[in-house]
Amino acid sequence: MVAAITEKKYGHKHHGKSSQDILDASNVLRAIGLVEGDKFIDAGCGDGFISIAASKIVKNRGKVYSLDAYEPGLDILRKKISQNRIENIKVILADMTVAIPLNDEIANKCVMVNVLHGFASEGTLGPVLSEIKRILQPGATFAVVEFNKSEGPPGPPYNIRLSPEDVETILEEYKFSIGGTQEVGKYHYLVESFKK
């Protein structure tokens, strides 16, 4: 099933849309147990609404790394950072299918919201998940948030949506330990995993 998902290329454009209106960042961050001092990665951050919420939790002892390949979304985030004088977010333009310009084992928590299905449909899971694994500390939390596998809108086309079981299978293939699945909103679930 997952192999079929990863082999198909739908040309799905998975950037430029914010989930802020349909997903509460606090639900996601509570689900992963984000606390003050954590080093947090928002992988595929878009306009950074989750990064902003995370920065308030990790405070000055922590750090937020906001990654995305879509410059206009990062520009929105940079503007919010400037307006609110936020000092603990680092905005990084990064194509995760090529490389993530961060040091090894730099973070202990990472979320990827509404983007794994895009990498799966494009067949680019390998480089992305290898890079995520490299920048996470041993035992670190990696949480994937995706739209429920149901007909939309909102969300991507049904044929490229991933079920929680699909996500768990993908993460297990890349040697993450599965922690469980929970609802984090009307349209979303979260699969928690850990770097072995």
**139 within a domain of the structure (yes/no):** yes
**146 within a domain of the structure (yes/no):** yes
State residue 20's pLDDT score. 82
Residue-wise pLDDT for 146-179, tens only, equals 999 999 899 999 999 999 999 999 999 999 999 9
Mean pLDDT confidence for 66-91: 97
Domain tally for the chain? Answer: 1
State residue 16's pLDDT score. 55
**DSSP states of the chain:** -HHHHHH--------S---TTT--HHHHHHHTT--TT-EEEEET-TT-HHHHHHHHHHTTTSEEEEEES-HHHHHHHHHHHHHTT--SEEEEE--TTT---S-TT-EEEEEEES-HHHHHHHT-HHHHHHHHHHHEEEEEEEEEEEE-SS--SSSS-GGG---HHHHHHHHHHTTEEEEEEEE-SSSEEEEEEEE-
171: CATH: 3.40.50.150
Confidence band of 91 (pLDDT split at 50, 70, 90): very high
**15 within a domain of the structure (yes/no):** no
Name the residue range of residue 37's domain.
Answer: 2-10+21-195
Confidence band of 5 (pLDDT split at 50, 70, 90): very low
Residue 8 confidence (pLDDT) above 70: no
**171 within a domain of the structure (yes/no):** yes
